A = this chain, B = another copy of it.
Amino acid sequence: MPKEIALNAFAMNCIGHQSSGLWAHPRDRSRDYRKLSYWVEFAQLLERGKFDGLFLADVLGVYDVFGDGPEAALRHGAQIPANDPLLIISAMAHATRHLGFGVTVNLSYEEPYIFARRMSTLDHLTEGRIGWNVVTGYLDSAAKAMGRARQTAHDERYDIAEEFMEVVYKLWEGSWDDSAVLCDRERRIFTDPAKVRRIQHHGGHFDVDAIHLCEPSPQRTPLIYQAGTSPKGREFAAKHAECVFLSGPSQKAIAPRVADLRRLAPTFGRRPEDIKIFALMTVVLGATDAEARAKYDDYRRYATGEGALTLVSGWTGVDFAKFDPDEEVRHVTNEAGRTAMENITRADPDRTWTVRQVAEHVAIGGIGPIVVGTPAHVADALEDWIEATGIDGFNLAFAVAPETYLDIVDLLVPELQRRGRYKRDYRPGALREKLFDGSARAPVRHPAAAYRFRPYASAAE
Seen from chain A, the residues whose Cβ lies within 8 Å of a Cβ on chain B are 13, 15, 21, 23-24, 26, 31, 34-37, 40, 60-62, 70-71, 74-77, 80-84, 86-91, 93-95, 109, 111, 113-114, 117-118, 120-122, 124-125, 141-142, 144-147, 176, 181, 183, 185, 188-193, 196, 198, 206-211, 213-215, 217, 302, 304
Contact B124–A34 (Cβ < 8 Å): yes
Quote the shortest CB–CB distance from A390 to chain B (angstroms). 36
Contact A36–B190 (Cβ < 8 Å): no
Contact A146–B113 (Cβ < 8 Å): yes
Q: List 15 A-B contacts (CB under 8 A).
A: A26-B185, A31-B183, A34-B124, A35-B124, A60-B113, A61-B210, A62-B211, A62-B213, A74-B196, A75-B192, A87-B89, A87-B125, A114-B146, A141-B211, A147-B207
A82 partner residues in chain B, CB cutoff 8 A: 213-214
Quote the shortest CB–CB distance from A138 to chain B (angstroms). 15
Contact A71–B121 (Cβ < 8 Å): no
Contact A146–B111 (Cβ < 8 Å): yes
Number of copies: 2
List 15 additional contacts besides A70-B196, A76-B188; criterion CB under 8 Å: A35-B124, A36-B125, A37-B94, A40-B94, A62-B210, A70-B198, A76-B190, A81-B215, A87-B122, A88-B125, A91-B125, A113-B146, A114-B146, A145-B209, A147-B208
Contact B121–A87 (Cβ < 8 Å): yes
Quote the shortest CB–CB distance from A261 to chain B (angstroms). 31
Quote the shortest CB–CB distance from A192 to chain B (angstroms). 8
